[in-house]
């Protein structure tokens, strides 16, 4: 943060830097362009070649260390801390600790280039995975789709699916990231089925699902849930689909559910 400046003000200041970098202060279209940039990153600028001065457009799209990229990276870095970290202090501490990591700037640059393209449905977990797994580069997102495979594996099967991950500090951060991923999905599902949060059941289930994934994690709390509710719970598990399509994963889940019941 900048002194006592509020969270919203920090993001507003960073946003204004982007506007200045593109010399858009006086133009009505600035909000459209800026909103697109903040959602889809620098690559979205190609749609606005007719709306920007030629020299500014050329610099913005070609210079990786130019004013636009610096401003975008600054905005997204602030967004990570303000929007995602405000209720997750562990995440802010993690970002501060990784600020000097070799791939920190690469992850920021990727975000500035593509916006929310790779954040999936849980920005915190996506950022954690990108920073923890240093070998993940841009090729892993598009050409070989490795990041998607990693995402599907870990969001379906929990922390235990990452073998040979002995670093306790990294495991702890990844566990917290997985808790954030599963939290809303799990609590919404439990509430929808009207399973009461008795004796801290929801948090216990969350810990187990984050550690062991949907099936094994829920099985760990099976004795605390009425059988017919538990059956409904398993039948409604949300599954991350892999690159080969969703049906294969769903068939596997149905098979495993059949074995459990």
At residue 241, the pLDDT reads: 66
Cα 89 from Cα 3, distance rounded (Å): 18
**Per-residue pLDDT tens digits of the chain, which is 261 residues long:** 444 457 788 889 999 999 999 999 999 899 999 999 999 999 999 999 999 999 999 999 999 999 999 999 999 999 999 988 888 999 999 999 999 988 899 999 999 999 998 888 899 999 999 999 888 877 788 766 788 888 998 999 999 988 766 778 889 999 999 999 999 999 999 999 999 999 999 999 999 999 999 999 999 999 999 999 999 999 999 877 654 444 433 343 333 233 223
User: Shortest CA distance to 18 belongs to which of 55, 50, 47, 56?
Assistant: 56
Instruction: Give the Cβ contact number of residue 7 at 10 Å.
Output: 15
Q: Answer yes or no: are the C-beta atoms of 176 and 90 closer than 8 Å.
A: yes
At residue 101, the pLDDT reads: 86
At residue 120, the pLDDT reads: 87
At residue 45, the pLDDT reads: 95
Q: What are phi and psi of 242, to 5 degrees?
A: -95, -175
Q: Supply the DSSP string of 94-114, one letter for each residue.
A: HHHHHTTSTTHHHHHHHHHHH
- Residue 245 pairs in a beta bridge with 242
Q: What are phi and psi of 46, to 5 degrees?
A: -55, -20
- Residue 242 pairs in a beta bridge with 245
Sequence-distant (6+) residues with CB within 8 A of 219 are 260
């Amino acid at each position: 943060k900048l002194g006592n400046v509020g969270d919203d003000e920090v993001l507003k200041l960073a946003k204004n830097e982007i506007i200045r970098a593109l010399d858009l202060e006086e133009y009505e279209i600035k909000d459209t362009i800026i909103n697109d940039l903040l959602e889809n990153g620098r690559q979205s600028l190609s749609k606005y070649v007719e709306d920007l001065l030629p020299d500014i457009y050329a610099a913005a799209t070609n210079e990786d260390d130019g004013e636009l990229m610096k401003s975008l990276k600054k905005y997204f870095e602030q967004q990570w801390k303000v929007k995602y970290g405000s209720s997750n202090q562990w995440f802010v501490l993690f970002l501060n600790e990784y600020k000097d990591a070799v791939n920190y700037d690469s992850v920021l640059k990727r975000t500035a280039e593509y916006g929310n393209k790779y954040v999936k449905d849980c920005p915190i977990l996506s950022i954690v995975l990108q920073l923890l797994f240093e070998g993940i580069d841009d090729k892993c997102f598009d050409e070989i789709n490795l990041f998607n495979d990693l995402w599907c594996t870990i969001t379906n099967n929990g922390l235990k699916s990452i073998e040979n991950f002995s670093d306790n500090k990294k495991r702890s951060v990844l566990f917290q990231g997985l808790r954030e991923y599963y939290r809303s999905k799990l609590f919404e599902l439990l509430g929808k089925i009207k399973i009461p949060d008795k004796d801290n059941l929801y948090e216990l289930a969350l810990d187990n699902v984050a550690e062991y994934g949907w099936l094994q994690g829920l099985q760990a709390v099976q004795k605390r849930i009425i059988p017919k509710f538990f059956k409904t719970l398993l039948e409604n598990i949300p599954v991350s689909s892999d690159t080969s399509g969703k049906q294969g994963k769903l068939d596997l889940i149905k098979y495993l559910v059949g074995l459990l019941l």
